[in-house]
Structure 1
């Protein structure tokens, strides 16, 4: 296991949980179906590298998201001997029934803080989304499965622009009233900046102090890891990321992928924060993800390696003159 490379930055938590969302959020919009055995191998590789929380699939209609049509088979094939928590996105009661039958460790419900994006993303108003979650919570409760709540466009909407912090707080409180206190604030559009992250974290800490908050950033404008830095200073200890930087919401113009898991783990290690993840193994998984997708992925550390990785002088030409 890779130990932290740097001294702990003042004000940072000593340890954080890295939540891998690549197998679901990263693959969902890929046009070519990724074979089930390769999805399973990807998840098993992530677990072997030390990732202990993974969003592995979604129980949506196969017509709506063909890439996720093998959700139950993926779950059935994953090596669960190391105690990793496997979650899945569920949009409705039918999906919750399927997820419970497949044996997920937690279900994830999702909606947008922005009315416009919620209509575009799930074709429902926010009120309709919240109303529909009651059945999911009931099914999950009957099966003794926890439910997590994701709030998309928590930092901005591509259609409405700024999203009031009050909208995020309102949904977080609605989740809490349903018994959902594990929350994820989704960037979705890459509109988060460090000051906005600070504002949202502080508002939620005051309004819903019992909530366990995760942050989910995209690197659309190149400040994804800067937003993580802001979250760390606010004491947030859970971060969602995607191997190789896979992903991008299909209902957002100019969307790009999530922050890269291996880049996140590298930064945390250099800041002295423990993750329990083996960075070298994780880089290997990122390279495998790139081979599965068949194109260059945006991850940087998978290309450059860790900071102190050296090369032979003979491997580089010497300047003339």
Structure 2
């Protein structure tokens, strides 16, 4: 059965609002909630960047059934993997087994702030491999000493370890990443509805299989901008989400909101409307989301663009939209 999620966008909402939206999303019937983990918004118009882990701790206490996930955390530069191991274990205990640790190789926008530079993509992936190994080791509750190419861990132990462990999803964009990470991860994370990603993942020896008989999930994400006024929705999506047009290969390397503003200065509202469903038409949203389940994705998180429309979206549109999505998606 296809599962549908709600995205806690830390770039566009403050911490108290995010906790309130998390409660409302659970009440509306979403199956899971994912949280971005940014130090900065992509564009100044978005205007927020609270600490995702504090927000998720509060969300774990404010909700009771909905699953939680980071989408995604980079455990290599801004955070040391030993710290990620500790806080993800703590969050899993607070969430009583509802948490999945989503990991990725990061964005310059968030990672450059600690002054460690911005490595090339091959180095970032190698760092992520080593970080996952450290996190897995620490999640056993054993004493860990590690001397690797990128990280050192001295006599570290995570004292509060959840009995059920912490599942790990890894964000990948192509075959090279899949070959490296599929054997190390429990779940696939991707931001494009490519069936080749699922097929490649399932073809890697040692990877948990995605599909009806496998334990792995393929988790995607799609932005929408629901609003009763389509023109208002397009204007909002253009103001706050035009960076989306750049694609991962560009967005990963831009260092500041000013850089994103410069890179997107020629993106037009109609360009955004062509790539993001905007307005009141729920069937248009279903059509856009369907690309993910047709590609073999098992879980799809929706991003409702803009803070000022979240309450109305959750109150008026979320329930009917979920009904339409579940009616259209495969069982």
TM-score norm. by structure 1 comes to: 0.52
Aligned: 1:203 with 2:200: yes
Equivalent in the alignment of 2:305: 245
Higher relative contact order (CA 8 A, sep 6+): 1
- How far off its partner does 1:241 sit? 1.6
Contact 2:105 2:128 in 1 (8 A): yes
For residue 108 of structure 1, the aligned residue among 96, 102, 105 is 102
For the 8 Å contact 2:28–2:319, the answer to whether it is kept is no
Secondary structure in 2 matching 1:111:
coil
Structure 2: gaps of 5 or more residues: 41-46, 76-80, 112-117, 142-160, 211-216, 225-244, 246-271, 277-284, 308-312
- Do 1:44 and 1:78's aligned partners in 2 also have CA atoms closer than 8 Å? no
Alignment of 1:21-100 (within 5 A): 21=7, 23=8, 26-28=9-11, 30=12, 34=14, 36-56=15-35, 58=37, 67-69=49-51, 71-72=53-54, 74-76=56-58, 78-79=60-61, 82-88=64-70, 89-92=72-75, 93=81, 94-100=83-89
User: Could you tell me which of 282, 293, 305 is aligned with 1:232?
Assistant: 293
Is contact 2:29-2:319 (8 Å) kept? Answer: no
User: In structure 1, which of residues 13, 16, 19 is the aligned counterpart of residue 2 of structure 2?
Assistant: 16
Which among 149, 158, 167 is matched to residue 147 of structure 1?
167
Deviations 1:89-116 (A, max 9, x none): 443321331232243522111127xxxx
Distance 2:52 2:171 in 1: 25
**SS across alignment from 1:67:** coil
Q: Kindly indicate whether residue 256 of structure 2 is the aligned counterpart of residue 273 of structure 1.
A: no
Shift of 1:53: 1.1
Shift of 1:267: 8.0
- Matches of 2:50 and 2:56, distance apart in 1: 9
- The structure-2 alpha-carbon separation of the partners of 1:146 and 1:70, relative to structure 1 and needing over 3 Å to count, comes to closer
Name the Cα RMSD after superposition.
4.0
Distance in 1 (alpha carbons) for counterparts of 2:318 and 2:27: 18
**Could you tell me how far apart the structure 1 residues matched to 2:191 and 2:322 are?**
20
- The gaps in structure 1 that reach 5 residues or longer are 1-14, 113-117, 155-167, 248-259, 277-321
- 1:6 matched residue in structure 2: none
Q: Work out whether residues 183 and 214 of structure 1, in 8 Å CA contact, stay in contact via their aligned partners in 2.
A: yes
2:188 paired residue among 183, 204, 219: 183
Q: CA deviation at 1:138?
A: 2.5
Relative to structure 1, the CA distance from residue 66 to residue 134 in structure 2 (aligned partners, 3 Å threshold; closer, same or farther) is farther
1:27·1:246 contact (CA, 8 Å) conserved in 2? no
Question: Post-superposition shift, 1:174?
Answer: 2.5
